Every structure is written in structure tokens, then in C-alpha cells.
């Protein structure tokens, strides 16, 4: 193991260093707590610190506290060497973060036993860290699966609904408008009937990719369901919403389609959400969300009625 010895007595450092190296450990020494802290904070490579309690400049308790305040994820096992005894001293050492204590002078057999104990603790800490990392990765994967559409890789409807509510709350706090685009792939049923569902799925994935690439980084692009998609546009007024809608429409129209040209129809609505007096401050009422969706859906219907491959904004 990689061990740092800290003691202001040269003879103690020499004896401990030789003893530990004979046991197969890598050893670095420091004259006091300040030098030890400089070594520790610059390398963060020490698994164990064996420190004298009483030292000039920075004593063992002070060094112990600094190490425990360090945010480094790897755990460091700390043994304090002391000639002092008594319950009060033991409590203060534990409070500072010490793992173990040894009375000076310490013999090699006792030191070896304490280091074996330290290794068991460090191995356990390492194992727990790996388990926590694996658990975090699993949780992240589950979260991704819960909010991601399996076919297109875009956010799914559940994630869309959560983001729409968050966007409306932000609109209320910031007094800024947000816009919503509902997008429908034109005549997609006939595409499926003509070319089959496999090519239909490929077309949907292409639409999703083009929408994502053609949207702004701040926009929230999701698959709404079937051949429908949605884009939430934060801090975007009516003019900006129609500009974004036209950009997306032209991008889909200009994409390469091996079977037949694919186009989209887009319905847009813009809202600046204002809180009602009796409204709960941390949630958006269902009727507000429904109203926004209905407005975008009405605009989408108008875009289809006017010949498809077009974008329309809701008019109250």
C-alpha cells in the first residue's frame, strides 16, 4: 500500500519507513502536518496516513480534519500516533476523523496488525464505491429508458409532459413567452401501406434526426406518439415560433428520402403563462396544459386543411 508517514522526530520517521518498506509498502515521509498536507493535496495517492499527534505548525488532528474535508472520492485511512491517553483525547481524535490510534513507541508486529485491519477497511470502501457506481449507472439507464422513445431516441411523451409543465412554470417566473410546435408526418399511413412498417420506422427515425439537428440547443424535441412529434420552444414569441417551424419544415422537405418525399405539417401556439390568484404556486393546473395542447392541435389541423407541408399558428 502507499503510505504517508508524518512525524517531526527524524528517528521515528526512519524506523517506521524501514519497517513498512520491509513489509512491502511504498512509503513517503513528511516532517510536519503542513508538509504532509502539501504532499497529500498534490498527489492524492496515499491510501494510509500514519501521523504523530503532537507536531509544530499543523498537528495530527489538524491534518486529519483537512483530509476529511477533502472531496476526493477515494477513502484515506488515518492512524494517529500518540503518547497521550484518556477518553477525551480518543474522542477528539475520532471527531477529527481518525480511524485508528497507536501508542508510541509502536512495534512492528502491532503496526502490521493495524495495517491489515486498514486494508480490510479500504478494500470494503473500494467495493462499496464500485457498487455505488454500478447502482448509479443502472439508475441513469432506467431513467433514460423511462424518458426516451425506443424507436427514435428522442424524448418520449412522458418526458414531454414534464418539460412542458416546467417550461410553463419558467414562463410564469420569468414573464417570458414560450411556444409549442405539434408536428405530424403527412400521409404517413399511406407510406406504411405502400412501403411497409420497417421502412416506415426508418422514415420516422430520419424525421426525428432531422428535427433534432435542425432545432436549437435550448429546444425540447420529443416524439409525441405514432407519427407525431413536438418541440417546446423556450423564450420564443409567435414570430420566433413560426420561424422555427419553417426551418423544420424546410429541413424535412430537403432531406434525402429513398422511397418518396416526406413532408410535415406543423401547428404552433405561443403562451405567456400568468398565475391566477387561487392557483397553486408549484404546479400547473391540468386545464392550462390541456389548453396549450388544444391550441397547437387546432393549428396543426389548419395546416393539414390548407394542403399539408405547411405551418400555421393558432389564432384565438
pLDDT value, residue 128? 85
pLDDT value, residue 277? 47
Question: What Å distances lie between residue 175 and 169, 170, 244, 286, 314, CA to CA?
Answer: 10, 8, 21, 20, 20
Active site residue 109: no
User: Rounded to an integer, what distance in angstroms lies between the CA atom of residue 56 and that of residue 31?
Assistant: 9
User: Rounded to an integer, what distance in angstroms lies between the CA atom of residue 73 and that of residue 4?
Assistant: 18
- What's the grid cell of residue 266? 406543423
Identify the helix (H) or strand (E) that includes residue 176. none
pLDDT value, residue 105? 80
Q: From first to last of its 316 residues, what are the pLDDT tens digits of the chain?
A: 899 999 999 998 999 999 899 889 999 999 999 999 999 988 878 999 999 988 988 999 899 999 988 866 688 999 998 876 555 667 788 888 899 988 888 888 888 888 988 999 898 888 888 888 888 888 877 777 789 999 999 999 999 999 999 999 988 888 899 999 999 999 999 999 999 999 999 999 999 999 999 999 999 999 999 999 999 999 999 999 999 999 999 999 999 999 999 999 999 999 987 754 445 556 788 888 999 999 999 999 999 999 999 999 999 7
User: Rounded to an integer, what distance in angstroms lies between the CA atom of residue 131 and that of residue 220?
Assistant: 33
Enumerate the domain spans of the chain.
Answer: 2-135, 157-313
Q: What is the DSSP letter of 149?
A: -
Q: What is the DSSP letter of 70?
A: -
Q: Hey, what CATH class is 157-313 in?
A: alpha beta
Residue 165: closest CA among 287, 74, 72: 287
Of 112, 133, 162, 227, the catalytic one is 227
Does the structural domain 2-135 have CATH classification 3.40.50.2300?
Answer: yes
Contact at 8 Å (CB) between 183 and 304? no
Amino acid at each position: 500500500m502507499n503510505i504517508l508517514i508524518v512525524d517531526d522526530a527524524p528517528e521515528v520517521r526512519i524506523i517506521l519507513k524501514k519497517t513498512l518498506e520491509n513489509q512491502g509498502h511504498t512509503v513517503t515521509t513528511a516532517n510536519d502536518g503542513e508538509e504532509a498536507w502539501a504532499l497529500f493535496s498534490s498527489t492524492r495517492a496515499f491510501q494510509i496516513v500514519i501521523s504523530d499527534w503532537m507536531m509544530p505548525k499543523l498537528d495530527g488532528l489538524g491534518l486529519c480534519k483537512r483530509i476529511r474535508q477533502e472531496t476526493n472520492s477515494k477513502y484515506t485511512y488515518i492512524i494517529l500516533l500518540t503518547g497521550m491517553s484518556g477518553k477525551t483525547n480518543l474522542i477528539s481524535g475520532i471527531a477529527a476523523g481518525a480511524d485508528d490510534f497507536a501508542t508510541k513507541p509502536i512495534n512492528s508486529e502491532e503496526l502490521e496488525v493495524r495495517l491489515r485491519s486498514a486494508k480490510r477497511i479500504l478494500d470494503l470502501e473500494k467495493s462499496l464505491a464500485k457498487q455505488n457506481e454500478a447502482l448509479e449507472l443502472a439508475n441513469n439507464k432506467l431513467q433514460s429508458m423511462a424518458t426516451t422513445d425506443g424507436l427514435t431516441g428522442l424524448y418520449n411523451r412522458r418526458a414531454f409532459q414534464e418539460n412542458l409543465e416546467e417550461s410553463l412554470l419558467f414562463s410564469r417566473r420569468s414573464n417570458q413567452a414560450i411556444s409549442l410546435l405539434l408536428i405530424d408526418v403527412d400521409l404517413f399511413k399511406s407510406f406504411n401501406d405502400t412501403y411497409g412498417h420497417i421502412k416506415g420506422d426508418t422514415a420516422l427515425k430520419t424525421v426525428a434526426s432531422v428535427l433534432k439537428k435542425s432545432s436549437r440547443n435550448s429546444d425540447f424535441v420529443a416524439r409525441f406518439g405514432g407519427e407525431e412529434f413536438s418541440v417546446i420552444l423556450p423564450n420564443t414569441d409567435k414570430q420566433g415560433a413560426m420561424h422555427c417551424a419553417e426551418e423544420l419544415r424546410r429541413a424535412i422537405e430537403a432531406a434525402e428520402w429513398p422511397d418518396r418525399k416526406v413532408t410535415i405539417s406543423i401547428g404552433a401556439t405561443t403562451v405567456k403563462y400568468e398565475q391566477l390568484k387561487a392557483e397553486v404556486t408549484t404546479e400547473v393546473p391540468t386545464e392550462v396544459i390541456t389548453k396549450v395542447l388544444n391550441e397547437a392541435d387546432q393549428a396543426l389541423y389548419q395546416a393539414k386543411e390548407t394542403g399539408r407541408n405547411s405551418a400555421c399558428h393558432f389564432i384565438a
